[in-house]
Chains A and B, each alone.
Chain A
């Protein structure tokens, strides 16, 4: 069973700061997701990675498969980025079925104006 650990658990920063959230996992995976959850509870998928790096606007996600580690970066952070950021991993394919994700506990990010 994969153990997914995120750090930090809580992060408060000033608007404009560069933010880094880390995720590590214990067992090999086929993909890693970064998700965003707002106070209302809904989950939005930000990135899905199986290798390398992806960028979308001010968000950058990287993954190092050998080290079993991923980072989510936010450049020029803004108060609207305040949310819970969740890392989730998918086990390697084990056949034709659908496999669920294993989630980290999330990082609570607050960006102050």
Chain B
């Protein structure tokens, strides 16, 4: 069964560094999403992406964040100048054009900022 994959599974970085989290959505999916979950809190929407541009973003998704689809398979989330409060689990999801409501989640990347 096709699945969304994410790399790395765990990333440790120092405060102020830039990180790139990578996602490979399901191959025929055209809608892409990033969510984050701070430890002990609920999952929060960050951004959605369609047709090579951001569709929607939350108030969390400020200038520190950016997303890109650099090629036909990867979808990346870049966090510039990481802060301690960026430590969280980051989930990627994707959905198909004919089933936009059905989002498939990746296993997540645990980001630890020290």
Contacts and interface: CB of A to CB of B under 8 A. Distances in A.
Interface of A: 30-31, 33, 35, 41-45, 48, 50, 86, 88, 90, 93, 96-106
Contacts, number: 71
Contacts of B44: 103
21 contacts: A35-B105, A41-B37, A41-B107, A42-B107, A42-B108, A43-B43, A43-B105, A45-B102, A45-B104, A48-B101, A98-B32, A98-B48, A98-B50, A98-B56, A98-B100, A100-B33, A100-B46, A101-B35, A103-B35, A103-B42, A106-B42
Contacts of A48: 101-102
B56 A101 contact: no
B113 interface: no
Interface of B: 31-33, 35, 37, 41-51, 55-56, 58, 89, 91, 95, 100-105, 107-108, 110
A104 B42 CA distance: 7
The 10 closest A-B pairs by CB, nearest first: A97-B55, A100-B45, A98-B48, A98-B31, A31-B101, A43-B105, A103-B43, A42-B107, A98-B55, A98-B50
A90 B46 CA distance: 14
B56 A33 contact: no
